[in-house]
Amino acid sequence: MLERTFISTLKSNPEIVGTQGIVLAVSGGKDSMVLLHLAKRFEHHLPNNVVVATLNHGIRRDALEDVKLVVQCAQNLEFPVIVGSLSPKSFCDENTLRSHRRAFLLDVMDQVKADRIWTAHHADDAVETMVLRLGRGAGLMGATSPKLYDDPWAKPLLTVFSEDIEEFRRRFGVPFREDSTNLLTDYERNKIRLELIPFWSELLGYDVRKTLFSSLTSMSVFREFVEEQGLCLLDQLTVERVPKMLKLRRKAFLSYSRSAQLVLFYLAVKSLKGDIRSRGHLEDAVNCVSKISDRDFGNFALKVNKEIFVVEVL
């Protein structure tokens, strides 16, 4: 049962719950509406400060109906709710929308003095992300499963599959709104979910989601070890750290193997809450450190001299 898995996840990963409060990211879709009802059902395990946040992206004509459903259900469950909205001009592509959504949720968290943001990502999402990233050439660090907790983001449904969510929804009559764009194969993720995974499962004669998720879990163990050791080395290289900027010892950095340099630079940017858009950018950045060459990569910048180099997230 979903409830048993959910409460087990909370008890074995107390960092998911936090201490100051939780912002529930609820879109009106099935997954987030089930998360909302689980939060109510187990609210005695949560801080008193639980707030629902929903964003009217305005992309679909019926987007306002999604918001109305979330507001009504949140009020019925006696959770305060905060609604945000985007102008049509704010939407350019999927990544832009994701950035706006993240910014909205972080703003709500600060506004209500919470320390966690819960999203309804589940095991199917993790598998789809892995397949998507592997198809784009990602390695171990990029292709492994999202974390249950990555301050301040938490995914308490990450080990749950979509059929478990649907079973709970049916059993308790949880209302939800169907996003019609989820059925369009114009988007890569939808192609993976609607076409590739079913074809792959039929071809092999078993549910590949389960085996892929098992592989993700195993890969995550190695990623966590690499990150833990890498961050220790990064601390030794660090001359100065301020928000969005790291100053590192260049010669000590170059004393490590090429593979270690790539991992350390990746972790340096990630530790600043930044992002490296491609393996090519990562390779080029490490080359710049070696050749003492400054460069702006768009979402992060690099300044290098003989003794130190500075990584700044923009």
Ligand-binding site membership of 107 (annotated): no
Strand order of the β-sheet with 245-249 is 238-242, 245-249, 308-313, 300-304, 295-296
* Nearest Cα to Cα of residue 274 among 233, 305, 237, 246: 246
Does the annotation place 18 within a ligand binding site?
no
pLDDT higher than threshold 60 for residue 133: yes
Residue-level pLDDT at 139: 73
Does residue 27 have a known ligand-binding role?
A: yes
CA 4 to chain centre: 24
In whole numbers, what is the pLDDT of the chain averaged over residues? 92
Q: Is the pLDDT of residue 202 over 70?
A: yes
Check whether 84 is labelled as a binding-site residue.
no
On whether the 2-197 domain is CATH 1.10.357.10, my answer is no
Residue 12 labelled as part of a binding site: no
pLDDT of residue 93: 67
Exposed, middle or buried: residue 70 (CB in 10 Å: 0-12, 13-18, 19+)?
buried
Q: Is the pLDDT of residue 246 over 90?
A: yes
In percent, the amount of the chain with pLDDT more than 90 equals: 75
User: In this model, does residue 55 exceed pLDDT 90?
Assistant: yes
* CATH classification number, 237-313, choose in 1.20.1070, 3.40.50, 1.20.59, 2.160.10: 1.20.59
pLDDT tens sequence across 261-283: 999 999 999 999 888 878 889 99
The pLDDT tens digits for 185-195 are 767 888 999 99
For the chain, domain boundaries: 2-197, 237-313
Mean pLDDT of 108-115: 97
Neighbours of 178 (CB within 10 A): 12
> Percent of the chain scored above 70 by pLDDT?
96
Is 91 a residue whose pLDDT tops 70? Answer: no
Q: Is 115 annotated as a binding-site member?
A: no
pLDDT score recorded for residue 178: 87
